[in-house]
Amino acid sequence: MVPTSFEVVEKRQDTADVWTLELEADSGQPFEFQPGQFTMLASGGAGEVPISISGDPDRPERLVHTVKAVGLATEAICAAEPGRVLGVRGPFGRPWPVDQVDGADVVIAAGGIGLPPLRPAILRLLARRERYGRLLLLYSGRSPDELLFTDELEEWSRRGVEVMVTVDAAGEDWDGHVGVVTRLVRHAKLEGDGLVVMSCGPELMMRFLVAALTAQGIGADRVYISMERNMQCAIGRCGHCQLGPTLVCRDGPVYRWPEVSPWLAIREL
């Protein structure tokens, strides 16, 4: 429960309200984690928030977080410049099943700020590319200006990921897809019992995505999602992140779709 001190060593602005911070532990120790896990991150007295780790799991010497400034705590984190010390607890949570999908075609479906939690999985899959069939990234964003990791998207494409990007709306200078991620599902020509889908993004997007996948004959039990809920302790004690009979900090954030789908339809949860 006690935060560890990490210093901001590098910072870059990705979009108007998203920053990526690279941190190193004051102790010099590497930060081992699995793709899909998160930390509780704090800057000064602005509060502590759960932030997914967005770095390379094979490079634990740096802890990387991509943060969207949406409130007091995240704004304070995004304002932290190199040299500033942040408090880190973790890593927490159930990771993406990247070590259990050898031989599968893997579809990564990300919406907006949902791409950073999937980035470690993409990097791990690429590091072991020969173990998998097709690797596809279906990525949706609000507008071209709000897309993340655009330089890496090209690199991933060169390294063997079929990258399909779409935005909700665009001007004439955008020559890519316009529409939602469910439209990409239609054109991706997905098939086979060996397909696995890992998705992170707005909850509504993920619900529509699963509907589109099942319409294409992809079983919902092949889909893994990363859930987000208000978290406080992150160690399964306070109950703030309860979702049905589960605690997102302990039983998630990565779930197989059937584990949580009954609860997502209940408005009060």
| Residues in touch with other proteins (CB under 8 A) | 17, 47, 49, 70-74, 111-113, 140-142, 146, 166, 168-172, 174-180, 182-183, 186-187, 201-202, 204-205, 208, 211, 230
* Phi/psi of residue 33, nearest 5 degrees: -155, 165
Cβ-Cβ contacts under 8 Å for 170 (sequence gap 6 or more): 143, 144, 176, 178
Tell me whether residue 127 or residue 169 sits nearer to other proteins (CB atom).
Answer: 169
Q: In the bound complex, what is the minimum distance in angstroms from residue 50's beta carbon to other proteins?
A: 8
In terms of Cα–Cα distance, which of 199, 248, 264, 243 is closest to 40? 248
Q: In the bound complex, what is the minimum distance in angstroms from residue 262's beta carbon to other proteins?
A: 21
CA dist 246 to 76, 104, 139, Å? 30, 28, 28
Tell me whether residue 15 or residue 261 sits nearer to other proteins (CB atom).
Answer: 15
Pairing outcome for strands 105-111 and 223-226: unpaired
Tell me whether residue 209 or residue 254 sits nearer to other proteins (CB atom).
Answer: 209
Tell me whether residue 125 or residue 223 sits nearer to other proteins (CB atom).
Answer: 223
Q: In the bound complex, what is the minimum distance in angstroms from residue 47's beta carbon to other proteins?
A: 7
Q: In the bound complex, what is the minimum distance in angstroms from residue 246's beta carbon to other proteins?
A: 21
In terms of Cα–Cα distance, which of 65, 115, 56, 100 is closest to 86? 65
Tell me whether residue 93 or residue 112 sits nearer to other proteins (CB atom).
Answer: 112
Q: In the bound complex, what is the minimum distance in angstroms from residue 176's beta carbon to other proteins?
A: 8
Cβ-Cβ contacts under 8 Å for 180 (sequence gap 6 or more): 140, 166, 168, 205, 208
